[in-house]
């Protein structure tokens, strides 16, 4: 991210800074010790203050180990809404590099949340609202990726209506690819987005409140609760390179070629051993002999998950908006029968999909098991698939 600042920041770092005669508490929040990106925040009070230490609750992962290794389809539309924006998250898949949680919050987020062991990205498939953070307010809307660096104390305010989110957690850092940047860090002219497409906090709320406030901290593979004796948003100013932001999928400038381009053309973010890509509505490959949908490919070193967000995805049959496919390592995959012929000559696509590829195997949970469609594994075999359709899917 680029340098950003909100509120009052003194001319020099680490110098005496006062408000109404009282010294402010300076907090350096940074990655990689003191060598990575950082921001400096100025608090009215020490951010260490506690009123009470509460319980620690370990994360329980209900893994589902399927009987067979096959391509999979899950209809996450069937996941029941409920819970608040953090407690209502339900784990769908995970490995040591990434966790993906489905969240359809219906309840107000009480208290505050901070992830102390990972960065988060929330893809807002449906819904919107305001993310209140110690860095200021971050409005979010449908198709936003909301990126929240670790260490950011925050609270979600929900707009009215349906909310349907895919929440990513990684112990690594969420970054934009280096190949989109020049040697100074500025995004290149041919990157699929520019700095203008990334939206930092818009306004700082400085709250002086000595009441008790609940804080949940994700750390050590669990959730530690605390009661603070002050409101955590007592920041009068901050500056630096670390802060939450949004990027909307509609602002991704898609790339196309005379012949088909592979998924790295759609890459949006990366973390350790994974990428997140945006397949945005776009013009299709324009050579008159081009096949405008993906060629078959073997992900011999990765697992590929696709979340279908909008439009009509030409390479897939029987896959609805809000569903996911998992094409795991070791198996080739490609368009289903008939979809190639149908797509020939198409000039554009209205599909929107979010894809994450992991370079280490993914483990599924019982949440996936509950919405899994086992017939998908046979969907490249028309006769077998037709026979299965005649039977109830379990
Ligand atoms: Fe693929």
**How far is ligand 1, taken at its centre, from the CA of residue 172, in Å?**
24
For residue range 301-345, list pLDDT tens digits in order. Answer: 899 999 999 998 767 777 899 999 999 999 999 998 888 888 899
Global pTM value: 0.96
Cα(360)–Cα(352) distance, integer angstroms: 25
**How far is ligand 1, taken at its centre, from the CA of residue 308, in Å?**
13
For residue range 190-243, list pLDDT tens digits in order. Answer: 999 999 999 999 999 999 999 999 999 999 999 999 999 999 999 999 999 999
CA angle 21/26/30 to nearest 5° reads 170
Q: Which residues contact 243 (CB under 8 A, 6 or more apart)?
A: 1, 4, 39, 133, 135, 149, 152, 200, 201
**How far is ligand 1, taken at its centre, from the CA of residue 16, in Å?**
55
Adjacent-strand bridge partners of 181: 187
**How far is ligand 1, taken at its centre, from the CA of residue 123, in Å?**
20
Integer Rg of the chain from CA: 23
Q: Please report which confidence band the pLDDT of residue 26 belongs to, taking 50, 70 and 90 as the band edges.
A: very high
**How far is ligand 1, taken at its centre, from the CA of residue 277, in Å?**
11
pLDDT value at residue 394: 40
Looking at 267-331, which runs of residues are DSSP E strands? Answer: 267-271, 274-279, 282-283, 297-298, 303-310, 323-327
Is residue 126 classed exposed, middle or buried when 0-12, 13-18 and 19+ CB atoms within 10 A define those classes? middle
**How far is ligand 1, taken at its centre, from the CA of residue 297, in Å?**
6
Cα(132)–Cα(339) distance, integer angstroms: 45
Cα(133)–Cα(348) distance, integer angstroms: 39
């Amino acid at each position: 991210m680029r340098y950003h600042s909100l509120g009052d920041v003194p001319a020099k770092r680490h110098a005496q800074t006062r408000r109404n005669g009282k010294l402010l508490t300076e907090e350096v929040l940074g990655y990689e010790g003191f060598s990575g990106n950082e921001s400096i925040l100025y608090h009215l009070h020490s951010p260490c203050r506690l009123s009470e230490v509460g319980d620690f609750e370990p994360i329980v992962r209900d893994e589902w180990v399927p009987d067979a290794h096959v391509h999979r389809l899950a209809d996450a539309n069937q996941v029941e809404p409920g819970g608040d924006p953090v407690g209502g998250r339900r784990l769908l898949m995970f490995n040591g590099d990434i966790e993906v949680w489905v969240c359809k919050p219906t309840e107000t987020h009480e208290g505050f949340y901070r992830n102390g062991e990972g960065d988060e990205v929330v893809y807002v498939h449906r819904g919107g609202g305001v993310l209140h953070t110690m860095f200021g307010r971050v409005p979010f809307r449908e198709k936003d990726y909301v990126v929240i660096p670790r260490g950011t104390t925050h609270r979600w305010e929900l707009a009215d209506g349906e909310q349907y989110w895919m929440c990513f957690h990684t112990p690594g850092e969420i970054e934009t690819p280096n190949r989109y940047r020049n040697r100074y860090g500025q995004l290149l002219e041919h990157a699929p987005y520019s700095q203008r497409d990334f939206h930092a906090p818009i306004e700082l709320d400085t709250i002086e409140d000595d009441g008790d406030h609940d804080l949940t901290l994700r750390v050590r593979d669990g959730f530690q609760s605390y009661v603070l004796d002050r409101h955590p948003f007592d920041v009068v100013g901050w500056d630096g390179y670390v802060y939450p932001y949004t990027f909307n999928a509609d602002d991704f400038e898609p790339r196309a070629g005379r012949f088909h381009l592979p998924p790295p053309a759609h890459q949006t973010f990366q973390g350790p051993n994974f990428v997140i890509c945006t397949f945005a509505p776009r013009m299709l490959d324009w050579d008159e002999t081009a096949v405008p949908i993906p060629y078959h490919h073997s992900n011999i070193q990765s697992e590929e998950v696709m979340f279908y967000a909008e439009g009509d995805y030409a390479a897939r049959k029987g896959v609805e908006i809000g569903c996911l496919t998992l094409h795991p390592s070791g198996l080739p995959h490609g368009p289903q029968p008939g979809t190639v012929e149908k797509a020939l000559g198409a000039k554009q696509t209205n599909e929107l999909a979010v894809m994450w590829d992991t370079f280490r195997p993914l483990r599924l949970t019982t949440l996936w098991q509950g919405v899994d469609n086992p017939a998908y594994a046979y969907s490249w075999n028309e006769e077998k698939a037709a026979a299965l359709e005649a039977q109830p899917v379990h």
